[in-house]
Amino acid sequence: MKITVVGYKKEARLSQGVANDEDTDLISFLKDKRLDVVSTIWNDEKVDWSSFDVAIIKSPWDYHNHLNEFLNWLDHLEQLSIKVLNPVEIIKWNSDKHYLKDIADKQLPVIASEYLEKGSSFKKDVFDLLNADKLVVKPCVSAGAQNTLTINRDNTEERSKEIDKLLKEQDYIVQPFVEEIKNGEWSFLFFNGKYSHCSLKTPKEGDFRVQHYHGGSISYPTPDPLHIEQAGAYLKSLPQSTLYARVDGVLIDNTFNLMELELIEPYLFLNGDKALLENYYQALAALIS
C-alpha cells in the first residue's frame, strides 16, 4: 500500500513562519512503522496520483487561496479510487465556515455567528443580532487569521468601508468578540475520534489572534476530562470518521464553545513526541486496514 502525505510548496510554508516541520517527523515515524510513505505537494503537476492507494491531506496550507482548484483535485483523487483522509465530503463541508451553522443546528455550543454574503454590505444591526459591542469579521474561506479584523460600535463608519471592500471578493462570517479568548484558545486533538492531546494558544497583550506568527504563545496544560468530552461531541455529529480533527474553542462558564472545527490542514502539535505520533499511527492503521 502506497501512501502520500500531502502538503504545499515549501516557499509558502516558510513564509508562514512555521517553526516546527511536523510533517517530516510524521513521515519518518510512519516509515519506521514500515509504511510506504512519501510526501507530495497537492498542486504539483508532476505527481502521478494514480500511483497512490491512500492520500493523507496533511498541510495544504494555501488551499483557501485556490479553493476551486483544490476541490477539483480532491474530486480527481476520488475518481482514481484513492482513499482520502480526511474524507473528501468532510473536507468540502469544512472548507467554508457556513459549516458552523450546521453544527449549531445540532444544539452543540458554537460561538454565535451571522453571515455576510459576497456583494452585500455591513449593517449596524448585526451588533444587536449578536448582542455585542465588538465583533470579529473573517472570511468564510480562510486560514491563519487572513483578512480577519475587529469592529466595534465606535469605529463602525471607518471599519465598515473596509469590510464592504472585502465583501466584493467573498462571503464573511461575523461573531461577537469573545472576551474569554484572552484566556486562550483550546485545541483538542483527536485521531480516529479518540482523544490524543491538547494545546492552549494565548494571544499577546492587546491582540486577539492566537497564532504564533501574530505573537501568540502555546502551552500544553492537562485539560479537565469534562472539556475533553465536550470537545469530542462535535466529532460524534459527523457522518464519517476522520483520521485527524482539531477542535478549537474557548471555555465560557466552564463549558467548551466551538470556534473552529479543523478537519483539513490543522497543525497537530505533535512536537516530535513519539507517544503522540503513535496515537496518529494507530488511527491511520485502523482506517486503512
Rounded to the nearest 10 degrees, what angle do helices 274-288 and 22-32 cross at? 60
Are 217 and 147 within one domain? no
User: Can you tell me the mean pLDDT for 173-198?
Assistant: 95
Burial of 23-45, coded b for 16+ CB within 10 Å and e otherwise, reads bebbbebbeeeebebeebbbbee
The pLDDT assigned to 19 comes to 38
Q: Look up the CATH number of the domain holding residue 55.
A: 3.40.50.20
Q: Is 201 among the domain residues?
A: yes
- Final residue in a domain of this structure, among 132, 150, 177: 177
Q: Look up the CATH number of the domain holding residue 247.
A: 3.30.470.20
Q: Is 244 among the domain residues?
A: yes
Q: Is 279 among the domain residues?
A: no
What is the DSSP code (8-state) at residue 173? E
Cβ atoms within 10 Å of 180's Cβ, excluding its own: 14
Q: Is 283 among the domain residues?
A: no
Alpha-carbon distance 201 to 188, whole Å? 11
Are 169 and 150 within one domain? yes
Are 249 and 197 within one domain? yes
Query: Which of 67-71, 165-169, 201-205, 226-230 shows the lowest per-residue confidence on average (mean pLDDT)?
Result: 201-205
Alpha-carbon distance 113 to 133, whole Å? 14
Q: Is 200 among the domain residues?
A: yes
Q: Containing domain of residue 120, as a range? A: 114-177
Q: Is 276 among the domain residues?
A: no
Q: ∠ CA(262), CA(53), CA(243), 5° rounding?
A: 25
User: Can you tell me the mean pLDDT for 147-163?
Assistant: 92
Q: Is 274 among the domain residues?
A: no
Are 14 and 87 within one domain? yes
Are 198 and 246 within one domain? yes
Number of separate domains in the chain: 3
- Final residue in a domain of this structure, among 26, 58, 93: 93
Are 103 and 202 within one domain? yes
Do 235 and 193 touch, CB atoms closer than 8 A? yes
Are 212 and 261 within one domain? yes
Most confident of 18-22, 90-94, 139-143: 90-94
Are 104 and 192 within one domain? yes
Q: Is 284 among the domain residues?
A: no
Q: Which residue has the higher pLDDT, 214 or 261?
A: 261
Alpha-carbon distance 120 to 122, whole Å? 7
Are 38 and 140 within one domain? no
pLDDT at 14 over 80: no
The pLDDT assigned to 142 comes to 85
**12 — pLDDT class (breaks 50, 70, 90):** very low
Are 168 and 192 within one domain? no
pLDDT at 60 over 70: yes
The fraction of the chain above a pLDDT of 90, given in percent, is 85
Are 11 and 82 within one domain? yes
- Final residue in a domain of this structure, among 34, 58, 93: 93
Q: Look up the CATH number of the domain holding residue 161.
A: 3.30.1490
Are 185 and 104 within one domain? yes
